[in-house]
Structure 1
């Protein structure tokens, strides 16, 4: 577990417990204080965000419209969401794998794709009670421990996701979206249509779009490491820089260099 701070934001991060690790990739409890509205643009990533929040709600603007929510969940997106924070907000953020979210929520993930919902809309009274318990917990570390236990109990009681879709998802993740979708379908003995149908249910996005998000995520990481535009495009499976630019504009509303400016050279 580690503590960190940025301007207006303090948070504690922790690895999930061993049971949750196949389903949860990130757990952090935070306190955010903003005297003036603070906008952020959140590009897509290959996961599902849940915020168990209390205090001032966030303003959220995405493909499905505008909402103000303190506690919410969003399915996989293939484009960005704009958020604005003002005042004091606290809570715990959980990033789940799509299959982890499918097991936790017990609903087809296509119903969440490119959309945001209040936690109560997707998790009912369990979400309300959990948020109340988190608000009463004595500090960020205690909140993380409490939510880890609550999520573990709920996921443990739910049916496992489709293992074959889990294998296909793992192949896409391992290759950062560069493996052929046709080859995945062939290895599973499924038609392309059946693979797409199972992905819509268990993941939320079609395999080809999922691969596109994974390539975008990989390319963003490579640019942040200092890799050139040309090398990033080649390494991450784009046809050329123009192809990468189009994907970045669609998913982040910005060019690669607008999203990840080159490092400043001091001299």
Structure 2
């Protein structure tokens, strides 16, 4: 595990998944948050599935089609933002999974989780509560992350493997940052467009076109946060023009590219709608 870091009211430590989990887990971290006033943080969409094992106060979650207050939850693939509201002391462990990793962990069609945030009990049953209890009993963050790594490894290893052809298609689309034409992807697999969409809905959660749009957004947001010009970014990421990129950012993040690229002051609303 890397060293612990403190940012404003957030303390966190990142862990490195074990060898078995690395194809499935993209981020593993322990955290604790406490602020004098409620903190609203906008979470733009990303090409993954977030799982929170909460050990403190519930977190408020709101956005288009979402309004919940949960301590432990899972969020499937989204193409719009979700706002989190931290009020009081909260603590837990966050795991970001690839959709194929989530498919094996949850054992259900990922379309059932797309555009939704649900209680962890709803997708993991009694296993979720047992895991939270075991994590809460381990105060050291290094040991807590090691325990969660072991729990996830055991559960995912016991689950049926995902369709390797969908895995290949996901990696191919990911490598292109969403730029690969979907017709070309289907042709490389020897599948019809309809069959490709069906397999993506089951294993990934959204259609290949929708997934590619999220990947393109991620690529553009990363370039803008690195200080690269908006016009160049729009061209590099496959938007028709800068106005097209602006429309996508407003629809998906509830913000302009400029708003999303600027630093977010801790303790205040991350982005205005």
Aligned to 1:97: 98
Residue 242 of structure 1 corresponds to: 243
Residues 90-136 of structure 1: CA deviation (Å, up to 9, x unaligned): 11000000000001100000000110111111000100000001111
Give distance in 2, aligned partners of 1:77 and 1:55.
25
Instruction: Give the match for residue 265 of structure 1.
Output: none
Q: Within 1, Cα distance between the matches of 2:63 and 2:157?
A: 32
Q: Deviations over 1:212-246 (max 9, x none)?
A: 00000000111111110111011111111011111
Find runs of 4+ consecutive structure 1 residues off by over 4 angstroms: none
| Contact kept in structure 2, 1:62 and 1:115, CA below 8 Å | no
More strand by share: 1
Alignment of 1:1-267 (within 5 A): 1-2=1-2, 3-261=4-262
Measure the CA separation in 2 of the matches of 1:59 and 1:261: 24
1:60-85 Cα shifts (integer Å, max 9, x gaps): 01333311000000100000001100
Greater RCO, CA 8 A, separation 6+: 2
Q: Which runs of 5+ in 2 are unaligned?
A: 264-273
Query: Contact between 2:100 and 2:162, CA under 8 Å: does it hold in 1?
Result: yes
CA RMSD, 1 decimal: 0.9
Q: Deviations over 1:44-73 (max 9, x none)?
A: 000000000021100001333311000000
The two structures have a TM-score, normalised by structure 1, of: 0.96
- Measured in 1, the distance between the counterparts of 2:191 and 2:9 equals 50
Q: Tell me if structure 1 keeps the 8 A contact 2:66–2:82.
A: no
Secondary structure of the corresponding residue to residue 190 of structure 1: coil
Whole-angstrom CA distance in 1 between matches of 2:188 and 2:138: 48
- Hey, what's the Cα distance between the residues in 2 that align with 1:143 and 1:217? 30
Gaps of 5+ in 1: 263-267
Shift of 1:138: 2.2
Instruction: Give, in angstroms, the shift of residue 35 of structure 1.
Output: 2.5
1:186-221 superposed Cα distances (whole Å, 9 cap, x missing partner): 111111111111100000010001000000000011
TM-score by length of 2: 0.94
Deviation at 1:176, TM superposition (A): 0.1
